[in-house]
Structure 1
Amino acid sequence: MFTLVRCGNKEEHGVLSPQASIKAMEVEDGFEVELVASEPLVVAPVAMTFDNHGRIWLAEMEGYMPDTLGTGEEEPVGRIVILTDEDGDGQVDDRKIFLDSLVMPRALCLVNGGLLVAEPPKLWFYEMKDDKPRGRTLVDSAYAEGGNVEHQPNGLFRALDNWIYSAKYDWRYRRADDGQWLKEKTHFRGQWGISHDDWGRLYYNDNSSNLSGDYFPPGLGAGNPNQRRVAGYGETIVADKRVYPIHPTTGVNRGYMEGILDSTGRLVNFTAACGPLIYRGGLLSGMNAFVAEPSANLIKRNVLHAEGFRVVGKQAYEGREFLASDDERFRPVNLYDGPDGSLYILDMYRGIIQHNTYLTPYLKSEIAKRNLTLPLSMGRIYRVFPRDAKRVVVTIPENTDSLISLLAHPNGWVRDQAQRTLIDRQAIEVATKLRNLLKKDNEPLPAVHALWTLEGLGQLTSDDIRIVLEHPRWEVRAQALAALTSLKKTVAPDQLKDLLTVAISPQDTVLAPYAMLAMASLANERFPEIPALSNRLAEAYANDRYVSDAFISGLGGHELTYLDEMERKKVDTSTVLHRRLVAVVDAINEKSKSKDQALLAKRYPKGTVLFQTACQPCHGEDGRGVSPIAPPLAGSEWVKGNKERLMSLVLYGLTGPVDVAGHTYKTPEVSGEMPGIAHNPAIGDAELAELLSYIRNAWGNNVGDEVLPEDLGAIRSRFGDRAEPFVQSELHKLFGKD
C-alpha cells in the first residue's frame, strides 16, 4: 500500500489531499465545490450514473497506464462499485463492489432493471437482485473492438428517445419487450463523453475541440451507408478552443511544439477535451455546456442559444475558466448532472493521463522529472453548485402519479429518470394521464417527456402524434415527427402519410428538415406512399442543405436512379440537392473500384490490426477520414506518393494544415495534429511496414510498392531521435510533392 508523506503543503510526489485540492481550485464567483467521495472509496473513476435512490454506480479503470509503457493494462483490476451516502451528510461513506476483476471497464448504464457494462471488446447486460449480479447476457461481442483506450466506444447514454447512444461509435442499442437487444446504425459521434439537451439533441467532442453536436433528433438521418455526412449532425457548436490554465502545464504530450504552450508555459488550446455536459440541473439560467480538460486541470463553461433549429455557442468568459486548479493531478474526465441539481465531476486524480500509444518522449521526460507515475489507486468525485441555490436531493418515488408529476421538474436529470423509471416498470396504466400532458400547451417539456414515455411503453398512437403536431411550440412538433417513425410497424402507411402531410408547410423552413428526416426513415423501410411526398419537399427545398441531405439519407441504393431522373428532367444542376447527390454517387463509384479489403487483411494481418488500433479511430474504417479529427487516407497523395515521405510522417508525426487531394485540411475541420509513433516500443518495424503497405493498397489506392522493415530502419537512421513532428512544407522540401 502506498503511504502518503507530507512535504510542506503537499504530500510526497506532489499529491494533495481532497481538501487541499479543493483549495487549489479557482471557481467562478458565487459557486462552491464540495467533496462527494475520495480514495479509498473511489479508485480511478471514469464513468458513473445515479440510481433512483441517489446512489452512485461507478466504473473504475484502475488498470489504466500504471506506468509510461502501460505495463499491466490487461490485468483484471477494474470494478463496478456502488457508492452510498448512508448518513445523509452529502459525502459517500459506503462502498459496495457490484462487479470485480474487470479489464478496463469504461462505461455503464442502468436500464430495464439491470446494468449495461462495457468491458472491451464486449458489451454485457447484467440482471441483478439486491445489488448483486444474477446472470449476464452478451449484448455485443464487438462493442469496443479495435482501437486503443483513448479511441474506443464509451458513454452508454440513455437518451430522450429511449435508445442508448455512445461516443466514438456509430451504433445504438435498446432492449425490446421480449428481452432481446436491438442494435441499429446511427451517426458517428465524438471521442469521450456524450450528453443531451432538453430536446434530446446529442452533444460530444474530440480531444482537440470544444463542443460539437446535432441539430436534429439522434435516431434519424443515418439510414444511407453511402452518405458520408448529413448536414445538421456532427456540427461545431462552439469553435473557440482556447483554454486558460492557472499554472504552467508543460506536462502535455506535445508541449515542446511551437504554439502548444504560451510564453508562460500554459496550454493554449484544448488537447484532451472530454466529458461534455449540457447542464440541465435547474440551478443555472440559460443553456450551459461544460467541458473537461484534464491535461490543463480545468473545466470550461460555454453558453449556448438556439437560432431556429441551429444551436450556437461561445465561451462564457475570456481569459479565465469556470473551474481551474493548480493541482497537476486534478484530472476531470467526466461531468454529470445529479439528483440535487449540482454538477458532478469525476476526477481520476493521477499523474499520467496520456495513453502510451501516442506518448511522446517529451512527456515521458516530464513525467519522470516530476515523479508523476505514482501514486496510483486514487480518485475523487466533487460537486459544484451556486452557493445561494436551494438544492434539494430528489429521490425517485415508487408511486406512478408522483413519477408523472416529476416529468415537469426543473431538474432535467429528475425528468429523465422519471421517464426511464415509468418505462422500465412498463407502467402502461399511466397512458391516459400521459396523454393529458400532451394537451398542455403551456408546458412543453412535460409534453415531450410524456410523448417519449408513451413511445417507450409501446402505447404511442397516431392520435397522440396528431395532438402533438398541433402544439404551439415548433420544438414540440419536431418531437412528434421524430417519434412518428416508431409507429412504422403499427400504423398503416396511408395514416403515416396523412400525418406527414399535416406537418409539412411549404413556408415552414424550421420543421422541413425534421419532416424530411422522418420521411427518409420511412423511405428506408420502403413505404410506397412516402416517396412522392418526399420528392415534392426535396424539390421545394432543393437549395437547403439540411433538407437535401435528409432526403439523400433515405435514398440508400437508389441514388443513381434519382440522379438520372433529375437529369432527364433537366433540373438545375447548381442546386445544393444535385451537387450533394452527385458527390454521393461519385463516392459510391469510387468505392466500387477499391480492392477487396478482406484479401488485404489476409495479406497484411499485423498491419490490419495495427491500423484498427492506431489509425482507424481517426481516419475511419473506409479511409475517408473522421471529422473533425483527421483527413482521408483514401486517394491521398501522402499515402500513394513517395513512401519515404510517408514513413517519415508516420514515424515522427505531422502538424499544421495539410493538403490532401486538392483540399487544405486545417483546424477546426481536423485536429491539425498527427502524433508520431517512432518512440513507441510496442510497435515494431515489421508490423508498421505491414500497416503502411496495407494503407497504400486499400480503398483503391493500389500502389503495389510495399514498405519493408529495412525501409523504416533507414528513415530512423536518417532522423534519429527527432522529437518534433514535421510540417507539410518540410516534408515537401525533403521528399518532393509527388
Structure 2
Amino acid sequence: IQHNPTPRGFENGAGNAYINPLRDSKHGRIYRISYKGGEDSETFDLKDADGKELIKALKSENMFWRLTAQRLIVEKQDKSVIADLYKIIADPKVDQVGLNGPAVNALWALHGLGELNGENAEAISTVEKALSHPSAAVRKNALRVLPKSESSLKAILASDVINDPDMHTRKYAFLAISDMPFSEEAAKALVNAAENEENGKDAYLPQAVFAAVLSHPTEFAKRDNTNALQAGGEVELSLADRISRSLVAEQYPLDMRNSILFPPDVAGKEIAIRMMVSKGNNPMDGILVAQGNNINGYSLYVFEDALHFAVAQDEKLTLISTKKPLPEEQFTIDASLVEDGSMRVAGCSQVE
C-alpha cells in the first residue's frame, strides 16, 4: 500500500493523498468495525467517582468501563467496596457466551487491594468458591489470584478443577499447583491426571502437568518405569510414562547452532553422551562438550587424535582415553558415567 507523505515534485489529490500511479486502488485498511444493531452501552464519568459509582461501572457490560473501574479501585485502595466485590464474584450469572466479566474484574480488584495475601479469610473463601463458578473465565482467574498456600491447594483439589471441562482452565489449575507447597494429596492427583489420555493428547497440558509434578514428584517415584526407560524412540509413550522417564532420564539435544539456556543439574545423576563427529580439513582438536569446572564437572574433548573423557569430583580428576588414531570418516562417540562410578568413552572403560 502506497503511504501518504508527499515527496518533492508530486501533487496532492482527493483526500490530500499525493497522485501516484503506484498507489494501490484495490486494497485498504479497516480501522474500525461497529455493530449498528445493538444498544449503546451506558457511559460513566469516573473522574471523581466514589466507591458506589465504581462498583456500578465494574458491573458494566463494556470491558473498558470495567477495567477503568478496577484500576481506580486499586489505585485509590478503596476498601469500602470489598463487600460489593464479594457479591459480584459470587453472582453465578453468565452471558450469551458463558462469560461473567464483572466477576473477573472483581477478582483482580480484590487481588489489587491486597485482600488475598492470606490475612483476609473471607476474601480467600470467596475466591475459593469461585473455583466452581459456572463461567470458565471466572474459574481460571480465581486460580490465578489465589495465594500460594496449603489452603488454596486443598481448595483446588476439592473443586476438581484439574478435570475442568475447559482445557484452558485446566491448564491454569496445573500451573497453580506447580507454585503450591508440596502435598502428597496433590502428588496422587497428578498421577491420575497424567494417566488421563485427554490430558496427554492436548497440545499444552503435558507441559503444565509436568511442571506441577516437579513440585509434587513423590508418587511418580513409586511408579514402575521399566517399560518407559527401555522403550525405543519409535514407541509412543503415555504422558505418565513420559513424565516418569523424564524424572530419571533427562534428554538435551544439542547442535552447533543451539545451546542450552539453563544447563541441567547433573549432581548425583548418571551422564550419557552420544554425538556424531566428522573430521574437517584441519586436524580435530578441542572440547566437544563440557560442564562445570575442575572441582566438579566433566569434559569430553579431542587431543592428539584421541578422545578423552575427564570427570572431576571434589577436585579428584579421573581421565580415560581412546586408542589412536580416530576414524577418518564420520563416527559416533559414546561417553558415560554411571551410578557405580564406571566411566566409558567409545571402547575404553574404567571402574572407580
Query: Aligning the two structures, in what range does the TM-score lie when normalised by the shorter sequence?
Result: 0.5 to 0.7
Matches within 5 A, 1:269-668: 322-323=29-30, 384-386=31-33, 396-399=46-49, 400-443=51-94, 444-460=100-116, 461-484=123-146, 487-489=147-149, 493-494=150-151, 496-504=153-161, 508=165, 510=167, 511-522=169-180, 525-527=181-183, 529-540=185-196, 543-545=200-202, 546-556=204-214, 564-567=221-224, 574-583=237-246, 585-587=248-250, 590=252, 621-622=261-262
Alpha-carbon offset, residue 636 of structure 1: 8.5
The amino acid of 1:426's aligned partner reads: Q
Residue deviations 1:182-234 (CA, integer Å, cap 9, x gap) = xxxxxxxxxxxxxxxxxxxxxxxxxxxxxxxxxxxxxxxxxxxxxxxxxxxxx
Alpha-carbon offset, residue 423 of structure 1: 1.5
Alpha-carbon offset, residue 422 of structure 1: 1.6
Cα 1:488–1:502 change in 2 (3 A) is: same
TM-score, normalized by length of structure 1?
Answer: 0.28
Q: Which 5+ residue runs of structure 1 have no aligned equivalent? A: 11-15, 25-245, 248-318, 324-383, 595-610, 625-633, 645-692, 706-735
Alpha-carbon offset, residue 437 of structure 1: 0.9
Give SS of 2:222's match: helix
Q: Retained in 2: the 8 A contact 1:396–1:403?
A: yes
Cα 1:534–1:583 change in 2 (3 A) is: closer
Q: Retained in 1: the 8 A contact 2:287–2:302?
A: no
Q: Retained in 1: the 8 A contact 2:157–2:186?
A: no
Q: Retained in 2: the 8 A contact 1:516–1:550?
A: yes
Cα distance in 2, alignment partners of residues 488 and 407 from structure 1: 27
Alpha-carbon offset, residue 426 of structure 1: 1.7
Cα distance in 1, alignment partners of residues 59 and 201 from structure 2: 36
Residue deviations 1:650-706 (CA, integer Å, cap 9, x gap) = xxxxxxxxxxxxxxxxxxxxxxxxxxxxxxxxxxxxxxxxxxx9996567995669x
Cα 1:8–1:552 change in 2 (3 A) is: same
Cα distance in 2, alignment partners of residues 551 and 458 from structure 1: 29
Q: Retained in 1: the 8 A contact 2:225–2:244?
A: no
Cα 1:569–1:435 change in 2 (3 A) is: farther
Q: Retained in 1: the 8 A contact 2:195–2:238?
A: no
Alpha-carbon offset, residue 620 of structure 1: 6.4
Alpha-carbon offset, residue 7 of structure 1: 1.6
Q: Which 5+ residue runs of structure 2 have no aligned equivalent? A: 1-5, 95-99, 117-122, 232-236, 265-272, 292-297, 304-328, 332-352
TM-score, normalized by length of structure 2?
Answer: 0.53
Give SS of 2:32's match: strand
The amino acid of 1:500's aligned partner reads: L
When Rg is computed on C-alpha atoms for both structures, the one with the higher figure is 2
Cα distance in 1, alignment partners of residues 286 and 63 from structure 2: 48
Give SS of 1:398's match: coil
Q: Does 1:9 align with 2:6?
A: no
Alpha-carbon offset, residue 496 of structure 1: 3.6
Select the structure that is richer in strand. Answer: 1
Cα distance in 2, alignment partners of residues 564 and 496 from structure 1: 21
Q: Retained in 2: the 8 A contact 1:563–1:582?
A: no
Residue deviations 1:569-626 (CA, integer Å, cap 9, x gap) = 9789731231255346543x659xx9xxxxxxxxxxxxxxxx9xxx88xx663599xx
Select the structure that is richer in helix. Answer: 2
Cα 1:452–1:704 change in 2 (3 A) is: farther
Matches within 5 A, 1:70-89: none
Residue deviations 1:374-415 (CA, integer Å, cap 9, x gap) = xxxxxxxxxx33478779997653323333233344543443
Q: Retained in 2: the 8 A contact 1:519–1:534?
A: no
The amino acid of 2:47's aligned partner reads: P
Cα distance in 2, alignment partners of residues 696 and 569 from structure 1: 31
Alpha-carbon offset, residue 457 of structure 1: 1.2
* Match in the other structure for 1:664: none
